Amino acid sequence: MLYDLLADPTEAVPGWIPSDRGKTFSFGPTAAELFCAHNKVRLIVRSHQVVDDGYQFNSNGGVLTVFGVPWYKGSNHAALVCFDEDGMGTIKQVEVVGNKCASGAHTSHQGMALWSAAIDLSR
């Protein structure tokens, strides 16, 4: 079950369906909500899937996909997430803008711009 929760989220169904990949299942927002409630967790953080902005929340906010490799798909950004001891999280996005830095970025290096957004899991 943990492998399924890390490998194949989908918005196409609320629960579980066999995955196109073969020996696993895809899960939807309702399945993620039930897993979080049963296991007393607020968020599933996963990787192993390219997302254009480097991170993406599912429709109900219970699953966060983080992808750490910029340019993997040509122009995708990368991201990472850090949590403190109080459950506060910070998403740091590396935004790819050709060979230039994005305007308004906090830090930049060779065509990448780093910015942060806070998420609160302390509830």
Q: How far apart are CA 32 and CA 27, in angstroms?
A: 7
What is residue 3's predicted lDDT score, i.e. its pLDDT? 58
What pTM value is reported for the model?
0.70
Q: How far apart are CA 31 and CA 51, in angstroms?
A: 21
Are the CB atoms for 100 and 106 separated by under 8 Å? no
At residue 67, what is the residue type? F
Domains of the chain: 2-120 (3.60.21.10)
Q: How far apart are CA 22 and CA 40, in angstroms?
A: 29
Are the CB atoms for 12 and 28 separated by under 8 Å? yes
Structure token digits, residue 96: 């790819």
pLDDT 10s per residue in the chain (123 long)? 555 555 667 777 777 777 777 777 788 888 889 988 999 988 889 888 899 999 999 878 889 999 988 888 877 889 989 888 888 888 988 766 654 434 333 333 344 444 555 555 554
Q: How far apart are CA 57 and CA 60, in angstroms?
A: 8
What is residue 32's predicted lDDT score, i.e. its pLDDT? 87
